[in-house]
Amino acid sequence: MKRPRPLAPNYVRSTPRKAGGGRNRGPLVEKAHAAIREGSKSFHAASLLFSRRTRERVWLLYAWCRRCDDIADGQDMGGALGDQSDIADRVKSIRILTARALDQQPTGDPAFDAFGLVASECGLTMEDADAVIAGFELDAEDWRPRSEMDLMRYCWHVAGAVGVMMAKVMGVSAHDEDTLAQNTLDRAADLGFAFQLANIARDIAEDDAADRCYLPIEWLVEEDIEPGQHMKPHHRQELADMAQRLVSLMETHAAASRIGASRLPFRSRWAILTAARIYTAIGHEVRRRGTEAWDHRVYTSKLDKIRHAAIAFLEALINRPPEPAEMPRWTRSALVKRASG
């Protein structure tokens, strides 16, 4: 039986500062690659299309995201949820380890050391990390979204903020106040929103089994669904209707994200467009299945991933994203202001 890894060392000592906690870059990249290969087959497939340097940095950032998620949920590589009784303490440990990694101190955990390394290379900050950690805190508080804005605020923390960090890893300036650069970060957040909305639509049944629900209470009231009863068979049509609303939101944000992707270097553009196609395909399949969407888990086959990569290659080569029919109602700046208010 595997012994659980300690969340935070029970000691703090002064050591020479070195990005990555003193670990060599090569082994950290190897461990990060193993994490993304096991934790997200879809994103791993898309990540292979980046240039080598960008690909490695994406893996390093992903490893931190995956490890934080696993600690917060008591999981192992996104498996079944574990005991949720001490989640607040686990989130506190995440923040302590992250701060130590950014201080270029060893953390005792390769994923956090990986974050310290990629942060030093790309200018990521504790403010960037805190935006993501705040999403784990919402789950720790047994939080439920009341409105669509609450839903999107959650999506900002757990995915939009990650999208912004990924854009910085791809070379978008973290300090440039230029309108175009800031707009590119907005569009990176939109891609994160699209990913999370697709995940929420797909995982409604799994979330319910873990006593979680990310469907806004206002939506449930509109559908005349009793609290905690949305997975009952007689509510399947209403559930399918709400999933369709999630997918419609996903499509709006995904379309906007293509504008930002068009400003990235070719290989980064290709990788991002591939990831966007793979994840939005999940949402589209949920919508296509209708009331049967949660009978079996929706996934993307290896052949489909190859097909999406081929189409994305042509899109990246032509690089003329269509003008979105409408821009998203929920923006990064508004949601950040809401989160800090």
In this structure, are 86 and 156 located in the same domain?
A: no
Q: What pLDDT shows up at residue 14?
A: 55
Average pLDDT value over all residues in the chain: 91
In this structure, are 118 and 186 located in the same domain?
A: no
Which amino acid is it at 65?
Answer: C
Check residues 9 and 211 and name the one with the higher pLDDT. Answer: 211
DSSP string of 266-307? HHHHHHHHHHHHHHHHHHHHHHHHGGGTTTS-----HHHHHH
In this structure, are 130 and 155 located in the same domain?
A: no
Q: What pLDDT shows up at residue 11?
A: 47
Q: What is the CATH number of the domain that holds 188?
A: 1.10.600.10
Distance of CA 305 to the CA centre of its chain: 19
In this structure, are 97 and 151 located in the same domain?
A: no
Q: What pLDDT shows up at residue 17?
A: 79
DSSP H helical segments within 86-235, as ranges? Answer: 87-102, 110-122, 126-140, 148-155, 161-169, 179-202, 204-209, 217-222
Distance of CA 8 to the CA centre of its chain: 23
Residues in contact with 56: Cβ distance below 8 Å, sequence separation at least 6, in sequence order = 29, 32
In this structure, are 25 and 162 located in the same domain?
A: no
- CA dist., res. 55 & res. 174, Å (int): 19
Model confidence, pTM: 0.90
Residues 96, 73 contacting (CB under 8 angstroms): no
Which two tokens mark 30?
Answer: 């190897």
In this structure, are 153 and 138 located in the same domain?
A: no
2 domain residue, yes or no:
no
Q: Tell me: pLDDT of 175 over 70.
A: no
How far the first Cα of the chain sits from its last, in Å, is: 45
In this structure, are 109 and 127 located in the same domain?
A: yes
3 domain residue, yes or no:
no
Note the pLDDT tens digit of each residue in 25-80: 999 999 999 999 999 999 999 999 999 999 999 999 999 999 999 998 776 655 45
Give the chain's length.
Answer: 341
Q: Tell me: pLDDT of 134 over 90.
A: yes
In this structure, are 135 and 62 located in the same domain?
A: yes
Identify the domain boundary among 107, 124, 142: 142
Domain extent, residue 84, equals: 19-142
In this structure, are 30 and 103 located in the same domain?
A: yes
- CA dist., res. 9 & res. 58, Å (int): 26
Number of domains in the chain: 2
In this structure, are 119 and 191 located in the same domain?
A: no
In this structure, are 111 and 247 located in the same domain?
A: no
In this structure, are 223 and 336 located in the same domain?
A: yes
Q: Tell me: pLDDT of 113 over 90.
A: yes
